[in-house]
Structure 1
Amino acid sequence: MKLTETVRKMVINSDIGTRAVAAKVGKKHHVLLNELNYENTSHKLGAELLVPLMKACGSDYPMHLLAAEMGGLFIMIPDENCPNATLVKAVKEFGDLISVYGEAIEDGELNDEDKVLIRKEGQEAMTAIQELICGLDNTAKHHPQA
């Protein structure tokens, strides 16, 4: 999936709606939608708008796409002590991975689409687990052992 398409889906699917996203990043609604339309050759989304859009939408999905394209993994380092939230997220993402894998192997064959979905879920599970591990440093600061 291309970056502009991913950002467009993020904006369109945001909880606050496209008009609110546009307002938060200081763009006119129709201008932002034109910039996110990959078929529109007269408007282009500027790279400097990516981070404000992710913040406005409350999503880091484009970072995962970029990291995966470069053979890497994007990890959000928790800035607050939230071990329960990160643990729940890690368990959920691992469960999603196992569920997708289980459904894919039911018929005994893995097609290319299955493999893409399994890799996506695997990346998300690894990211959540790494966030949990990285968050341990913050946990130790807030909960010293007796």
Structure 2
Amino acid sequence: MRGTCGFPSLRQRVHASVLGCDTLDGKGIAERLGLNYQTFMSSVSGQPKHKLDADWLLPIMATTGSVEPLQFMAREMGGVFVKVKPCTGTADLMDTLISSVKEFGEYAAECAEDIRDGRLPRDQHDRILKEGQEALASIASMMQLVRAVHAEQYGGGQ
């Protein structure tokens, strides 16, 4: 289904994240957000005369634990959303970073010819996307740690 101005529907992704929440049903989510259940569900499901309020987006994602709406928006705009895990320590982080990036690079190199030829089997596609996401998350975590260390050492600033 298309959304506004020919773009794919973001509301559908939000609705799916509400329905797919493992910890709360729609009623529980509406209650957490302080919203009327019927109005909330009518808005996220796209019932006639109901629109999803953009200001509900962050609270819905925080309540459901789903970042799929953000990932969807990033993909549609030609980008990638990377959820950064909290830093647990420099040694662990550096080991994870090095391992993730190295494994991803090695596997991508193995698949390079297939990628160039446009013959990428589903298993390679899935593995590249999974390991690429892990490598990006590791790099983003390292960047977050670098900012924190610099701010601690030099006081503020990015």
With structure 2 as the length reference, what TM-score do the two structures score? 0.58
How far 1:127 sits from its partner (Å)?
A: 4.0
How far 1:56 sits from its partner (Å)?
A: 0.9
The alignment covers a number of residue pairs equal to: 129
Aligned equivalents of 2:63, 2:148: Cα separation in 1: 28
Aligned equivalents of 1:4, 1:119: Cα separation in 2: 28
Indicate the residue corresponding to 1:16 in structure 2: 23
Structure 2: segments with no counterpart, 5+ residues = 1-7, 154-158
Amino acid across the alignment from 1:132: S
SS in 2 for 1:137: helix
Aligned equivalents of 1:52, 1:137: Cα separation in 2: 29
SS in 1 for 2:139: helix
Q: 1:81 aligns with which of 62, 68, 87?
A: 87
Q: Kindly indicate whether the alpha-carbon contact (under 8 Å) linking 1:14 and 1:57 is maintained by their aligned counterparts in 2.
A: yes
Establish whether residue 29 from structure 1 lines up as the match of residue 66 from structure 2: no
Q: Kindly indicate whether the alpha-carbon contact (under 8 Å) linking 1:11 and 1:53 is maintained by their aligned counterparts in 2.
A: yes
User: Which one has the largest radius of gyration?
Assistant: 2
Amino acid across the alignment from 2:17: M
Q: 1:129 aligns with which of 138, 147, 158?
A: 138
Aligned equivalents of 1:2, 1:118: Cα separation in 2: 27
Identical-pair percentage: 21
Establish whether residue 71 from structure 1 lines up as the match of residue 82 from structure 2: no
The CA RMSD over aligned residues, in Å, is 4.0
Indicate the residue corresponding to 2:10 in structure 1: 3
Aligned equivalents of 1:46, 1:10: Cα separation in 2: 15
With structure 1 as the length reference, what TM-score do the two structures score? 0.62
Structure 1: segments with no counterpart, 5+ residues = none
Amino acid across the alignment from 1:21: I
